[in-house]
Structure 1
Amino acid sequence: MRHLTKSTRRSLRTLLMAFAAMLFMVPMSGTANAHGSVVDPASRNYGCWLRWGSDHLNPAMQQQDPMCWQAWQADPNAMWNWNGLYRNNVGGQHQAQIPNGQLCSGGHTEGGRYNALDTPGAWRTTAVNDNFTVRIEDQARHGADYLRIYVSKQGYNPVTEPLEWNDLDLITTTGSYPTTGVYSAQVNTSGYSGRHVVYTIWKASHMDQVYYLCSDVDFG
């Protein structure tokens, strides 16, 4: 470096400072940007992370949990960011903003990161009775203006059919929740049996931010 001219050294310093500034501008994924999800009955994204987050390279996943396998293969960052499936500036127009067949990905939110969640198939289910509780964990403590909880209609087959709005029965709409970080809603149903999708809309309170979450259940 001692043979370089002052002008060259000054240019190198400028380039190094610009490179360092760019590093700080790169967005980081993971829990630093944590939000939340339905943890019971587990959403597709949360369930895949819960079961395989510490063992996501295990080839046994392909046989034991094939729907999570295809989701991990499609975009591992989507599974690591299980708590980031939301849309901003929806304006309460859920059906207009989220097209049929894209409900579980929030309308191909985040540049399509979560698209694999829309794939029909034998997703792992949680056993429920006619009356069960939906529980959301909100790591960022955003609060909730409301929850809307739907159950797929009897006769809809999530193994073979993409989810559409007409496939859903609205069961519960709640009021607001304070920023406690855990929000629970009692769901009372009747007439359902077998495999279904529980679809939860969580409208956060801190801004116009909405989470769209699919949980696979099996009514006993």
Structure 2
Amino acid sequence: MHLQELVHLPRWTLRALALLSAALLCLIPMADNASAHGSLVDPASRNYGCWERWGDDFQNPAMADEDPMCWQAWQDNPNAMWNWNGLYRNGVAGQFESAIPDGQLCSGGHAESGRYNSLDAVGPWHMTDVSSSFTMDLYDQASHGADFMRVYVTKQGFDPATQAIGWDDLQLLEVTGSYAPSNHYMIPVSTSGLSGRHVIFTIWQASHMDQSYYLCADVNFV
């Protein structure tokens, strides 16, 4: 139907067409949902935590003072927060240390795209209090399953608020077995001799293809 024909339609007909168009739009899946994957939700990864705290309130100027690291991420590239479930690389074939340079672990080495670079920023990221033994919750929105998880923590004495994270700054805590496709994978973790601010760095190797996720969660051992 041409524009000139629409102009002469009765008002009730135009209203019906508008309602029909709105209903049809609701049936179209959003791109983010179609390509949804997942992230750590407890303790929250940096980008999921930003989305959880500010996704419904991203225009609030209080973010700058209350959550400065999320604020800088939002200013740098809003997709770091909106696409909290898509921080992965394909085809790494287990060569994680070769694929992800020092200083780029929290962005998964995505320097070429710039989407997640802000997650590598050094500073006082929001922390989750944990004890020496705790359980992590990884939310798999697309039920990919996992071949394994590799869970690291920054070494005692390393300060992620003032230093960029490299592979030599990590100690391996846990290598899990496989997980059948589901929405939540619970990962028990035990530590010893850790206190204060640390980063939990998790590699999730998905099962549906050679797809690996790189997730930084800031914690405070109490």
Q: TM-score, structure 2 length as denominator?
A: 0.85
Counterpart selection for 1:143 from 139, 142, 145? 145
Alignment partners' CA distance in 2, 1:78 and 1:198:
18
Q: 1:112 maps to which residue?
A: 114
Shift of 1:31: 2.4
| Corresponding residue SS for 2:200 | strand
Letter in 2 for 1:172: E
Number of residue pairs matched? 193
Residue 84 of structure 2 is aligned to residue 76 of structure 1? no
Residue 139 of structure 2 is aligned to residue 134 of structure 1? no
Letter in 1 for 2:92: V
Deviations 1:63-116 (A, max 9, x none): 000000000111112211100000000010000000000000000267120000
Letter in 2 for 1:50: E
Gapped regions of structure 1 (runs ≥ 5):
1-27
Q: 1:190 maps to which residue?
A: 192
Q: 2:201 maps to which residue?
A: 199
Tell me if the contact between 2:87 and 2:214 (Cα under 8 Å) persists in the aligned partners.
yes
Shift of 1:30: 2.4
| Corresponding residue SS for 2:64 | helix
Tell me if the contact between 1:41 and 1:217 (Cα under 8 Å) persists in the aligned partners.
yes
Q: 2:27 maps to which residue?
A: none
Q: 2:167 maps to which residue?
A: 165
Residue 62 of structure 2 is aligned to residue 54 of structure 1? no
| Corresponding residue SS for 1:30 | helix
Tell me if the contact between 2:80 and 2:119 (Cα under 8 Å) persists in the aligned partners.
no
Tell me if the contact between 2:80 and 2:118 (Cα under 8 Å) persists in the aligned partners.
no
205-214 or 70-79: which moved more?
Answer: 70-79
Letter in 2 for 1:103: L
Residues 21-60 of structure 1 aligned to structure 2 (within 5 Å): 29-60=31-62
Gapped regions of structure 2 (runs ≥ 5):
1-29
Q: 2:126 maps to which residue?
A: 124
Letter in 2 for 1:58: N
Shift of 1:32: 2.6
**Deviation beyond 6 Å, 4+ runs, structure 1:** none
Alignment partners' CA distance in 1, 2:190 and 2:112:
33
